[in-house]
Structure 1
Amino acid sequence: MEKEMESIYNNVAISDCARCEKQKKCGKHMVIIVILVISIFVALSIAVGILFMHCFSMSDELTELKKNRTGQERILSEIETMKVALRNLSRSCPQGWFAMGSSCYYISENKMTWLEARYYCHELNSKLAIITSMNEMDSLFKLLKGYDGLWIGLHRDSNEINSWKWLDGAKMTFSYWGNKEPNNEKKNEECVEVLSGAWNDEACSERRTFMCKKTYSC
């Protein structure tokens, strides 16, 4: 009987020891799991913090880049404005010429035939004045004050007796004729002069002052 009781006691003791060992192992595993969870949480927190810092840094850099780009665009715009201003400053008419719009005008004091005046203007890298609009003609009155009988680059079309064209071959698109002009009074009035502020047909062999015209040179 005593042996049986001792055996039972020993079995219980062994069972208790086994349970204790198992509990110790479980406790160690729980500690390890808790440590791992904490470590993962800390690592994630650090990673999230780094990501936030990186995002803020990138946001600052992006803002700075936008500021720099805006500054660069402003500088480029200012440079372009300066280029335009310099180009305008570099445009000039030769001495003795008058500037108006994008053209230069020269009025000769010497009297020549229409053909001589044409060649004279050609030598000056220009043409007898080709007037392209009513506004231009109106503006030219300021230059033409004091001049009466002045050749311009308009002449009768040899192929059409009642048609007129400019030296560049363009047809006359507007007219500024004086009263009852053109009248071809001398029967050979093939060229045009500015007379008393209006156009007048005149014989090309007559000697008149004249006006040359060319575009700005840079």
Structure 2
Amino acid sequence: MTKLNLVLMGLPGAGKGTQAQRIVEDFKIQHISTGDIFREAMKNETKMGVEAKGFIDKGELVPDSVTNGIVEDRLSMDDVNDGYMLDGFPRNLDQAKALDEMTGRLNKPVTAVINIHVDPEVLIARLSGRFICKNCGATYHKLYNRPKVEGTCDVCGHHEFYQREDDKPETVKNRIAVNTKLNTPLIDYYEDKHLLYNINGDQDIDDVYSEIQKVLKAL
């Protein structure tokens, strides 16, 4: 059986987190989230972790060379010999090429790239639908979780609501646009290498997962 060495892609709000959990549980592979390995490397004060902390403490972006080093350190560990899933890496074309080189050196090449695709307009509606009761902090959603009585909080009966800055449609639109710009060259790159599998993320969570399962079992 082919080892499952995966890259998981998808725009914010596409449901990557939920699907990642299921993939890891069912296929027994290591979930490598860049946020987690960064924190781990800094906590353990590895050479690359110390370098990364230097940039983060100054409020600067961590350069690709350091990010790539931290990912390579993680991929060289024995617990990923039976498969891994990268989440949050690569973020750009240079990182994707670096990933090819390091996985070649380690003899752990990427076998598939799973891209959970959702129409950006749908994502904007999903991500900007959240609103919060000003009085008690109860959270609602315009699409999935409206108050039982329009304009009245179910919990405390208050009538004033607000939206967090990062939930506002303009902020969300900008975030989606930035991520689309980053993802598009990666999608083309992996398509050319015949590694890309597009999954329709605009359906029920279980249906999304069964589509992913079919792909992974076929590998």
Instruction: Please identify the structure whose Cα radius of gyration is greater.
Output: 1
Q: Could you say which structure has the higher strand fraction?
A: 1
Band of TM-score, shorter chain: under 0.3
Provide the TM-score with structure 1 as the length reference: 0.21
Higher RCO (C-alpha under 8 Å, 6+ residues apart): 2
